[in-house]
Amino acid sequence: MGSGTAFSVEVEDQLEASMHRVIEERQTRRAALRTRNKPADVAARPSPGVGTPMEDVQSALARGQAAMEAFTSENRARYGREVSLSAARAADLRIVPADVYGFYSPPYEMQNTNGDTFGTADQWENVPDKNSGAITIAQHCVTHSSGGWGWAGVGFWYVPRTQIPGMVEFRALIHWQYAYALDAEGLDAHSAAEVGLDVFSWDMNGEDMKTQTVRSPLWDYRETGVHFGSPHRDSNDGTTNLVNPFSLEPGRRYACWAYVLASTDASGSQGVFAGSEGTTDVWAQMPFFVTEEWGINIQA
């Protein structure tokens, strides 16, 4: 304990000073003894009742030893009281389990996109908006052979809220709406989408990345064969509640993302018996995130 250590050093300093005083007193008495023990002074020694030089030295040593014992005893008592007080202060500290909630709503701190494509799509947009929490994806492969995947998300940085963090649960409520159409005329067409909750963590140097994803598929459909201009269409809307528990460690940074991931591919309209078309549209809204952290707080 800090106070105990500081007090112990102080006691040691005081004991050392006291010992120096006793040593100096001994040296002074010895010098006086050597002077008084000269032959000329032998006959002039005082009577035993007054005290001889040797008796004076012994008396000084006894007084010094008694003073040291009293000083040591006093400071042991003081140090013991300090330890008792430190223990009492430690006993007053309470280790309190904590359950802390956080709420995050637009505007969010971050937005980002990712993806990969081939060919020349008629329309290919993956647009996040951190100010409103909206995500828009439009992937149209109609007149050219094309396709790929696109990711768009909004998110925030998370800072632990307890003194000794243990676990945090990220929760996202995602409203979504979609519509897709696939027309296969001898060549396949494919469309799929999901919503998800990504959590990333790095050390303070931006290295040692850890990630965990919780996803909820919306659909995954592939059209094959020949349908003579009768495409497969589907649309829907709803709300998905995602929960992603993540372990917390000291000295790391955390980021949470809600996202939409969609993919579309088609060969393009090349003829009645040789072509395919695919269109995918997704609209999503992130009204808020909620975090719940479990950890420990220390209270005085």
28 band by pLDDT with thresholds 50, 70 and 90 = low
Q: Please indicate whether residue 79 or residue 219 has the higher confidence score (pLDDT).
A: 219
Measured CA to CA, the distance from residue 261 to residue 144 in angstroms comes to 22
Segment 237-241 shows an average pLDDT of: 97
Confidence of residue 144 (pLDDT cuts 50, 70, 90): confident
Higher pLDDT pick, 120 / 244: 244
User: Mind listing the pLDDT tens digit for each residue in 76-113?
Assistant: 554 454 444 444 455 567 778 888 999 999 999 999 99
Please check the confidence at residue 38 and state whether its pLDDT lies above 90. no
Predicted confidence (pLDDT) at residue 149 exceeds the cutoff of 80: yes
Q: Per-residue pLDDT for 175 more than 90?
A: yes
Confidence of residue 67 (pLDDT cuts 50, 70, 90): low
Strands (E), 49-163: 94-104, 110-119, 123-129, 134-141, 146-158
Band (60; pLDDT cuts 50, 70, 90): low
pLDDT at 7: 35
Q: Looking at the whole model, is its pTM more than 0.75?
A: no
Using omega within 30 degrees of 0 as the cis cutoff, is the peptide bond preceding 107 cis? Answer: yes
| CA separation for the pair 212, 60 (Å, rounded) | 78
CA distance 245 to 224: 39
Q: What is the mean pLDDT of residues 71-75?
A: 54
Instruction: Please report the pLDDT score of residue 239 as a whole number.
Output: 97
Say which range, 70-79, 95-104, 148-157, has the weakest mean pLDDT: 70-79
Tokens of 133: 């929490």
Lowest mean per-residue pLDDT among 42-56, 141-155, 215-229: 42-56
**Sorting pLDDT into bands at 50, 70 and 90, what band is 284?**
very high
Per-residue pLDDT at 84:
47
* Separation CA 36–CA 146 (nearest Å): 117
Q: Is 74's pLDDT higher than 70? A: no
The predicted pLDDT at position 107 comes to: 97
What's residue 56's pLDDT? 54
Find all residues with CB under 8 Å of 17, minimum gap 6, and list them. Answer: none
Q: What are the tens digits of pLDDT across the range 160-172?
A: 988 888 999 999 9
Output the average pLDDT for the chain.
Answer: 78
Mean of the pLDDT values across residues 54-78? 56
